[in-house]
A and B are shown apart, each in its own frame.
Chain A
Amino acid sequence: DSGVTQTPKHLITATGQRVTLRCSPRSGDLSVYWYQQSLDQGLQFLIQYYNGEERAKGNILERFSAQQFPDLHSELNLSSLELGDSALYFCASSPDSGEQYFGPGTRLTVT
């Protein structure tokens, strides 16, 4: 158990819909990262927040957005969903330096 929690574990929704994925980092970690993992694209970094502020941006679509709240939990919002957005979405957290600790992921299926 990494100490990072993600909800929900599974999500099935239709094209065009909007969903919110939630992540709680390890106690004391200020950084939260979001990744998308799909069979064809592999593990793709989406975005990082540090203590409530956006720190780094990766291959995140404009239809996707994220935020980190004062209690350090983070949400990833995915809108106007397309079939190709079906993937595993991981959250990770880290202390100020060093390795990232990954949550168990949310499996999103868009039908």
Chain B
Amino acid sequence: AQSVTQLGSHVSVSEGALVLLRCNYSSSVPPYLFWYVQYPNQGLQLLLKYTSAATLVKGINGFEAEFKKSETSFHLTKPSAHMSDAAEYFCAVSPPYNNNDMRFGAGTRLTVKP
């Protein structure tokens, strides 16, 4: 079975600073990995996904994530935070070609200070 661990339930950055949200995965097979964002009172929206092609994945809103097999990590980054980035971010993992077994992390709440 696969799982993800998100390090840090709350992250606070200043506007314009680097955003780094950490996700480590555990999987017995090469995984598919995803980052979702949830704005207040909304559903989860896909930011980006890794499906065994390029290890550096670019997503929407300037976010990107790098798959590092040696570190079993899939950290989410953005060079410069905007106030509008304040939200909850979820990392998720699934076996390849089998998204009926997708497991979500506990989420990281990102706060952006002016």
List the interface of chain A (C-beta within 8 A of B).
2, 4, 31, 33, 42-43, 45, 48, 50, 55-56, 90, 92, 94, 97-105
- How many interface residues does B have (CB within 8 Å)? 22
- Which one of A50, A90, A101 contacts B46 once the chains associate, using CB atoms below 8 Å? A101
Closest to B32 in A: A98
Q: Of A31, A42, A102, which is within 8 A of B45 by CB? A: A102
User: Which residue numbers of B lie inside 8 Å of A, CB to CB?
Assistant: 32, 34, 36, 42-46, 49, 51, 90, 96-104, 106-107
Q: In the complex, are the beta carbons of A97 and B104 less than 8 A apart?
A: no
Q: Is the CB of B43 within 8 A of A2?
A: yes
CB of B97 within 8 A of CB of A97, answer yes
* Residues of chain B with a CB closer than 8 A to A92's CB: 44
Q: How many A-B residue pairs have CB under 8 A?
A: 50
**What would 14 more interface pairs be, CB under 8 Å, given A45-B102, A55-B100?**
A2-B43, A31-B99, A43-B44, A92-B44, A97-B98, A97-B99, A98-B51, A99-B34, A99-B99, A100-B99, A102-B43, A104-B42, A104-B43, A105-B43
Cβ-defined contact, A102 with B44, below 8 A: yes
Which B residues are in CB contact (< 8 Å) with A97? Answer: 96-99
Contact (A56, B100) CB under 8 Å given A98-B51, A105-B43: yes
The reply to whether B100 and A98 contact each other, CB–CB distance below 8 Å, is: no
Q: In the assembled complex, which residues on chain B have CB atoms less than 8 Å from the CB atom of A99?
A: 34, 46, 49, 99
Min C-beta distance of B97 to chain A, whole Å: 5
Asked, given contacts A42-B106, A42-B107, A98-B49, whether A103 binds B43 with beta carbons under 8 Å apart, the answer is yes
Q: Give the contacting residue for B102; candidates A50, A100, A103, A105; CB below 8 A.
A: A100
Residue contact A98 to B99, C-beta cutoff 8 Å: yes
Q: Indicate the member of B46, B51, B96 with the most A CB atoms within 10 Å.
A: B46
CB distance from A47 to the nearest CB of B (A): 10
Closest to B101 in A: A56
Knowing A90-B43, A102-B43, A104-B43, say if A43 contacts B104 (CB, 8 Å): yes
CA–CA, A53 and B97, complex, Å: 18
